Structure 1
Amino acid sequence: MKFEKTVKFAILALAALLSAGAFIVPKKRIEEKQERYIPFAERHRQKHYKISPYDSLIRAWSDSASLDWRFVSAIVYHESHFRHDAVSRRGAIGLMQMMPSTAAHYGADSLLDASQNVMAGTRYIKDLYRSYGKVAADETERKKLTLAAYNAGGGRVEDLINYTRYRGKDPSYWDNIVSVIPEMRADSILTLDTVKLGKFNGKETIEFVEGVMARYHKFKRIAP
């Protein structure tokens, strides 16, 4: 009889503990740990990494031109490695390696001044970007054509587009243009009316487009 009472008491006690939630403590502890870790994960995701000392400046001028500042930063990286006083043998100056004649068109007269340089550069990129809106297949291809023009000049890119069409390929894709560039190194190109500026080596331009796009994708990962 005493044993039966003991068993009955134990069963009732166990039922009371279960109803009170005494055995879900481990789950609560797990949830508490998750709550501690989630804020850390959120902070880690939201952390913005600095690309260069000119991030704020590049952001401001890029925003004013409706451009992705990381795209512009990738151009600056390849042009000058963020050196505001860089001067090339061809006479290009500053962060974005602007030619004085081009920069003057956008109101910049002191290209060693970082703000003026980036202002002129972003406005120039915006104009180039607009000009390929109806040519490029999508936004990525539009960026590639813009980069090609920034490096080789708009007239040269017009030649590339026209010659690619002449060869029966679609110039809305940069890879199709790249595929015909070797042909533009031959003397025979000089006899074509579709090509206005003559022969074109193109290796530097191809490397520039590929390099900037790769850097742009990297900057997008580290500076979301």
Structure 2
Amino acid sequence: MFRKNLWAFAVLLLLPAFCGSGGRRAASETPFGMLAASDDHSLLPEGCYLLSAYDNIIRSVSEREGNDWRLVSAIAYHESRFTADRVSARGARGLMQVRPVVAREFGVPAELLSDPAINVRLANLLLNRIGRMLELPADMPERERLGFVLAGYNSGPGHVADARRLAAAYGEDPDRWEVVAHYLGLKSDPEYYRNEVVRHGRFVGGRQTADYVGAVLARYDRYCGLAER
């Protein structure tokens, strides 16, 4: 999954130079090739950013992975309120609330999850992996695709895939997020989670996942109005 060589990329400044570096610190190289010494770990001072003090980090890392930095920022807001040292009751850590088990799957030591750039890159890699795992149609409208990927980020792609299979089994469109969200909610009912198409068992967080998707997309829309891609 990871490239063998250390990456280096130019920092794209969002705001005028008089804002300064805002406390830049040198990035340390890591044995798994996550970051290079030229990567930007700077936090922007208040009044010198558009979305958060982590604009530089989120934008440069997300662009490298092919994702819209405003979407990733919206996720970061709802996951941690841009709090880099946040640890959830379930052990998820950092800006993007990445779990240690996910870090290990990508070959990253859990103790590095507190580094914002590493945390954001892992989240980007996870978002891309979820999109592949769900095998969404290439011609699916982008808004629908985002709904599925965000749901997978929140609840796990397995439950979303189950809900898609349930929708198909009941004669409904598995490529519409609104339809699949309904079946995701039904996965707490034995009539549905015991269906032969279900591979990941009972799920009780369907309503919360649907609310999460709606909230992130609404903030993403707001961020699109505040910042250019």
Asked if these proteins are the same fold (TM beyond 0.5), I'd say yes
CA-CA distance at 1:198 after TM superposition: 2.1
1:135 shift after superposition? 7.1
1:118 maps to a residue whose letter is V
Does structure 1 residue 198 correspond to structure 2 residue 175?
no
Superposition deviation, residue 136 in structure 1: 7.1
Could you report, residue by residue, the CA deviation over 1:95-154 in whole angstroms, capped at 9, with x for unpaired residues?
Answer: 000011111233432101111111111111122223444277211111110000001111
Report Cα offsets for 1:49-84 as digits up to 9, x if no partner. Answer: 610000010011111110000010001110000000
Between the two proteins, the alignment pairs up a number of residues equal to 177
Which residue in 2 is equivalent to 1:92? 92
Matches of 2:187 and 2:149, distance apart in 1: 20
Q: Greater shift after overlay, 175-184 or 85-94? A: 175-184
* Alpha-carbon distance in 2 for matches of 1:190, 1:56: 43
State the shift of 1:179 in Å: 2.7
Partner of 1:148: 151
C-alpha distance in structure 1 between counterparts of 2:125 and 2:79, whole Å:
16
Query: Which residue number corresponds to residue 67 of structure 1?
Result: 67
Which of residues 110, 114, 117 is equivalent to 2:116? 114
1:154-173 to 2 correspondences below 5 Å: 154-173=157-176
Q: How far has the Cα of 1:200 moved from its partner?
A: 2.1
Q: Which runs of 4+ in 1 moved over 6 A?
A: none
Q: Check the 8 A contact 1:189/1:198 in 2, yes or no.
A: no
Question: Would the aligned equivalents of 2:159 and 2:184 in 1 still touch at CA under 8 Å?
Answer: no
* Structure 2 stretches lacking a partner, 5+ long: 1-47
The 3-state SS of whatever aligns with 2:151 is helix
Q: Once structures 1 and 2 are overlaid, which stretch shifts more, 164-173 or 99-108?
A: 99-108
1:51–1:177 CA distance, 2 compared to 1 (3 A): same
Q: Corresponding residue for 1:211?
A: 215
SS in 2 for 1:115: helix
> Does residue 187 of the first structure (1) align with residue 190 of the second (2)?
yes
Which residue identity does 1:153 align to in structure 2? G
Measure the CA separation in 2 of the matches of 1:146 and 1:181. Answer: 14
Tell me which residue corresponds to 1:220.
224
Q: For the structure 1 residues 191 and 125, does the alpha-carbon distance in structure 2 shift closer, same or farther, using more than 3 Å as the test?
A: closer
Q: Greater relative contact order: 1 or 2 (C-alpha under 8 angstroms, separation 6 or more)?
A: 1
Contact 2:188 2:203 in 1 (8 A): yes
CA distance in 2, matches of 1:136, 1:208: 24
Query: Kindly, what percent of the aligned residue pairs are identical?
Result: 36
3-state SS in 2 of match to 1:203: helix
User: Is 1:128 the counterpart of 2:123 in the alignment?
Assistant: no
Deviation sequence 1:185-220 (CA, Å, 0-9, x none): 222224311112222230111111001000100000
Tell me, yes or no, if the aligned pair for 1:74 and 1:212 is still in contact at 8 Å: yes
Structure 2 CA distance, aligned partners of 1:135 and 1:151? 22
Alpha carbons 1:84, 1:112 under 8 Å: kept: yes
- In the superposition, the TM-score normalised over structure 2's length comes to 0.72
TM-score by length of 1: 0.74
Q: Counterpart of 2:96 in structure 1: which amino acid?
A: M
Q: Which has the larger radius of gyration?
A: 1
SS in structure 2 of the partner of residue 185 of structure 1: coil
